[in-house]
Chains A and B, each alone.
Chain A
Amino acid sequence: MPKCSFEGIRVGGVVTCVPQRERCIDEEVELFGGNEKQIARLKKTIGLDRRRVVDDSTTAADLCEAAARRLLPACDLESSDIDAVICVTQTPDYPQPCNAAVLHGKLGLPKNCAALDVNLGCSGYVYGLWLAFMMISSGGCKRVLLLAGDTISRLVNKRDRSVASLFGDGGSATMIEQSDGAGTSWMSMDTDGTGFDRLIVPAGGARHPHSAETHLEAEDDAGNLRSKENLFMDGAEVFNFSISEEPKAVSDLLDFAGIEIDDVDHFVFHQANRYILSNIAKRLEIDPAKVPMRTVERFGNQSSASIPSALCSELGDLLSLDAGRQVLLSGFGVGLSWATALLPISSLRVCEVIDYKA
């Protein structure tokens, strides 16, 4: 779609909630057939290490709810102040209704409040920001609550080395609000639907409903096990897509905004893994110090929650200062879908990671 810009809208605060249970690739020697050298290479090059994963009774909605319950009082807001709630997730509590409606009820939001879900993953946080900014810019809303979270760990087969040690879980809550004097924000969204099957959970929807057959695990060429109900990722293709499209999307948005790459203070990419991020940074010739990339080694790839998680875990203090910073956010993944935003951010009233307590 055409690129767009907004005036007078700001991000007011961000909270990310992660499960307390931690897993580490060092505990998974058996999964890698006892090949400790391979684990060492994955840790060093890809940055895989620890990750936070939910138990079977915790959902993305639970994590997002906890994040929202911390965000609202930290922003001095009541439930009744919220005009719309957007929930970005690919792991909703129910096929229907949407998570946004469920959370609207739990959080006690007012009836004159819009609520909808967005079915996107790694690009979804930026898409959610775009929707929230449009809702405010059209005049209908003053404050929009953006909830973005996933529990992808529950979709991966524990005996699939291509994904098992990669994904963590997380839920986030972000306040977007009307604010006179907030500077200009720039955004762009892109899609390549011909790659829809490169990152996919094939069964469980209307095309291939759950059945005894979709539940069966099969071994692929590389000896990884998965069923049609598990997440499949073509890692090499997704990697190729990321390193070819992401640098271009960033350059194009900066051109559109008329902002030099050196004037951007932080480049916060979807925390896919450190290797992808360092390759994107290299192609853009940006200082790696401006690119947070340590979130995946602490929390895992958190899908739609990974950008807020990186904001909270790596930039929380800086973004709470009154001095404004130009922050570029860019998500890429399942769809295939990618989206980029350039926002001035300052004086966040909260920007932190909290642990989930049931």
Chain B
Amino acid sequence: MELEQFIRDFEAAIEDLPVGSLTAESHFRKLEQWDSLAVLTVIAMANSEYGFALKARDLKRFDTVEALFAFIESSQNP
């Protein structure tokens, strides 16, 4: 699992978010496009691309894309 790929997948999952607008340090919940729909589409991305059952509350526990990535990675390879 690569951070760069995760960032691209995260971008693609959010409707109306231009490619290249996220970095590892981006605070995703501060995005203009972040809403309950984005929560669903990111959960779907985690499920389909990484086979990971992300919870809505996990998305509230982390600020940056990198922190979320680290959480998924550590949960999959404990």
Contact at B36–A235, with CB atoms within 8 Å? yes
Contact at A236–B41, with CB atoms within 8 Å? no
Mark out the residues of chain B between 20 and 78 whose CB falls within 8 Å of any chain A CB in the assembled complex.
33, 35-37, 39-41, 43-44, 47-48, 53-56
Decide yes or no: A38 and B56 within 8 Å by CB, A45-B15, A236-B43, A243-B44 being known contacts: no
- Report chain B residues within 8 Å CB of A161: 36
Decide yes or no: A240 and B43 within 8 Å by CB, A41-B37, A222-B36, A279-B48 being known contacts: yes
- Report chain B residues within 8 Å CB of A44: 15
Q: Determine whether B16 belongs to the interface, using a CB cutoff of 8 Å to chain A.
A: yes
- Report chain A residues within 8 Å CB of B56: 234, 236-237
Band of interface residues on B: 10 to 19
Cβ-closest chain A residue relative to B14: A41
Q: How far is B53's CA from A243's CA once the two chains are assembled, in angstroms?
A: 10
Contact with B along A203-240 (1 / 0, CB 8 A): 00000000000000000001000000000001111011
Contact at B48–A282, with CB atoms within 8 Å? yes
- Count A interface residues, CB 8 Å: 22
Q: Determine whether A275 belongs to the interface, using a CB cutoff of 8 Å to chain B.
A: yes
Contact at A239–B40, with CB atoms within 8 Å? yes
- Report chain B residues within 8 Å CB of A46: 37
- Report chain A residues within 8 Å CB of B44: 239, 243, 275, 279
- Report chain A residues within 8 Å CB of B54: 240
Contact at A38–B37, with CB atoms within 8 Å? yes
Decide yes or no: A236 and B48 within 8 Å by CB, A37-B16, A41-B15, A41-B33 being known contacts: no
Q: Determine whether A21 belongs to the interface, using a CB cutoff of 8 Å to chain B.
A: no
Indicate the member of B33, B37, B55 with the most A CB atoms within 10 Å: B37
Contact with B40, one of A37, A38, A236, A283 (Cβ below 8 angstroms): A236
CB distance from B36 to the nearest CB of A (A): 6
Q: How far is B39's CA from A161's CA once the two chains are assembled, in angstroms?
A: 14
Q: How far is B56's CA from A283's CA once the two chains are assembled, in angstroms?
A: 21
Contact with A239, one of B16, B33, B43, B48 (Cβ below 8 angstroms): B43
- Report chain B residues within 8 Å CB of A162: 36
Q: How far is B14's CA from A37's CA once the two chains are assembled, in angstroms?
A: 13
- Report chain A residues within 8 Å CB of B55: 236-237, 240
Cβ-closest chain B residue relative to A41: B15
- Report chain B residues within 8 Å CB of A37: 16, 33
CB distance from B45 to the nearest CB of A (A): 10
Q: How far is B41's CA from A38's CA once the two chains are assembled, in angstroms?
A: 14
Mark out the residues of chain A between 235 and 262 whose CB falls within 8 Å of any chain B CB in the assembled complex.
235-237, 239-240, 243-244
- Report chain A residues within 8 Å CB of B53: 240, 244
Decide yes or no: A38 and B35 within 8 Å by CB, A236-B56, A237-B56, A240-B43 being known contacts: yes
5 contacts between A and B (CB under 8 A): A38-B35, A41-B15, A240-B54, A275-B44, A282-B48
Q: A-contacting residues of B (Cβ < 8 Å)?
A: 15-16, 33, 35-37, 39-41, 43-44, 47-48, 53-56
In the A-B complex, the 4 residue pairs with the closest CB atoms = A236-B56, A41-B15, A239-B40, A236-B39
